[in-house]
Amino acid sequence: MPLIKVLVVEDSPVVCNFLVHILGSDPGIRVVGTAIDGEEAIEAVQRLRPDVITMDIYMAKMDGLETTRRIMETHPTPIVIVSSIINPRDVEMTFQATKAGALAFLPLPAGIGHPEHETTARELVQTVKLMSEVKVIRRWTQSQRVSPASRPPEIYGKILPRRVSVVAIGTSTGGPPVLNTILAGLPENFPAPVLIVQHISSGFSQGFVEWLAQSSALALKLAEHGEHILPAHVYIAPDEFQMEVENGGKIALIRGEPENGMRPSVSRLFRSVAEVYGSSAVAGLLTGMGRDGAAELKLLREKGAITFAQDKESSAVHGMPGEAIKLDAAMFVLAPQEIISLLTNLVSGKQAGIN
């Protein structure tokens, strides 16, 4: 297998050397260059053509957000944000960078000698390897963007109005900007609770909720054990817990084993939704690696729930939704704007796709 070429963008010489050491210690990775700011990074991308870029978020001259935006507009390359300090400003910029095209984000690995060093260093190496397999696309500038034409409402078929008790969504790589779009498009009186599992690195969940809340009219929060789910509220699964829903509409957070390598796991949430709500649920899978939740989306469809999957064209990685489509688990295969239309019209009792 050819070596994965990595460009490390980091303004701290100490941190840069640390990252080069971790990545260079893996025989499948070759660090081909480093850059201390965004201007150097853009020049290095053009010259070195790396397979993956690790990106610092706060740098002089040009920050990681603007650098990511420009790289994705000119030389699209998988970008992993590596943040040395997780503070509110950096977290917000990190999620803005995902809107600009960054695929993943991680905290800086723990230092050598720290009990978590090997685990966090291994996570960085594994993430870089996984992201090297993603085929990213060019992100056009705002002035060049053209909104895709909406598909005719007939694609939804005819759905009888029904009572929707809950909406459950699972996503992974590329999920934050898609969730941002969908939640921003739902009305403040959305008449159902929304439960979300987003595969995300530990330490980013609270910042993720705060970032989503800036553009959504719904009430967003990290889920808490034992609380009742309410309409027009969005509950995000917290770090290191499996999230389930119990009879009576209560959330259960469990320190269970990872499932599909994940905790929280979409599969775990979807199974509980299928058991408790069955045909009164709506559930879907958005962009993400792997197959977490695909078989359980099929279970939900078999129980009469409305199910959907994000389409390939709008997905950063079509793993999870693609697996669901292969299993015939998704009734609808939709772009994010179409998912907004489906959810809004379905829960309001109208035929999906008709405003």
Q: What pLDDT is attached to residue 60?
A: 85
CATH fold of the domain at 4-142: Rossmann fold (3.40.50)
Cα–Cα dist 220/180, whole Å: 12
Cα–Cα dist 211/226, whole Å: 25
Helix pair angle (13-24, 117-131), 10° resolution: 70
- Strands 242-246 and 250-254, by their bridges, are antiparallel
Answer whether 308's CB lies under 8 Å from 342's CB. yes
Cα–Cα dist 70/118, whole Å: 33
Q: What pLDDT is attached to residue 264?
A: 97
Answer whether 303's CB lies under 8 Å from 271's CB. no
Q: What pLDDT is attached to residue 166?
A: 97
Q: What pLDDT is attached to residue 203?
A: 81
CB within 8 Å of 304: residues ≥ 6 apart: 278, 279
Q: Nearest to residue 57, comparing CAs of 91, 31, 24, 99?
A: 91
CB atoms within 10 A of CB 35: 24
Q: Nearest to residue 172, comparing CAs of 144, 131, 211?
A: 131
Q: Nearest to residue 332, comparing CAs of 289, 262, 284?
A: 284
CB within 8 Å of 288: residues ≥ 6 apart: 170, 171, 172, 173, 174, 175, 199, 317, 319, 320, 321
CATH 3.40.50.180 spans which residues of the chain?
Answer: 154-347
* Residue 55 phi, psi (nearest 5): -125, 125
Q: What pLDDT is attached to residue 348?
A: 66
Structure tokens at 340: 């907004």
Structure tokens at 342: 């489906």
- CATH pick for 154-347 out of 3.40.50.180, 3.30.1360.120, 3.50.50.60, 3.40.50.300: 3.40.50.180
Q: What pLDDT is attached to residue 84?
A: 72
Q: Which residues are catalytic?
A: 172, 199, 292
Cα–Cα dist 44/50, whole Å: 9
Q: Nearest to residue 50, comparing CAs of 71, 64, 27?
A: 71
CATH 3.40.50.2300 spans which residues of the chain?
Answer: 4-142
Q: What pLDDT is attached to residue 160?
A: 53
Q: What pLDDT is attached to residue 152?
A: 47
Cβ-count burial 251-278 (b if 16+ within 10 Å, e if not) = bebeeeeebbebbbbbbbbbbbbbebbe
Structure tokens at 137: 């696309």
Answer whether 93's CB lies under 8 Å from 56's CB. no
> Along the 355 residues of the chain, how does pLDDT read in single tens digits?
789 999 999 999 999 999 999 999 999 999 999 999 999 999 999 999 999 999 998 888 899 999 999 999 999 999 999 987 666 666 788 899 999 999 999 999 999 999 999 999 999 999 999 999 998 866 554 444 444 445 544 444 455 556 799 999 999 999 999 999 999 999 999 999 999 999 998 888 988 999 999 999 999 999 999 999 999 999 999 999 999 999 999 999 999 899 999 999 999 999 999 999 999 999 999 999 999 999 999 999 999 999 999 999 999 999 999 999 999 999 999 999 999 999 998 876 554 443 3
Name the pTM for this structure: 0.89
Q: Peptide bond preceding 107: is omega within 30 degrees of 0, i.e. cis?
A: no
Length of the chain: 355
Cα–Cα dist 288/316, whole Å: 7
Is the Cα torsion angle 146, 152, 156, 162 positive or negative in sign? positive
Instruction: Give the CA angle between residues 3, 14, 80 to the nearest 5°.
Output: 45
| Amino acid at position 58, single letter | Y
Cα–Cα dist 284/331, whole Å: 10
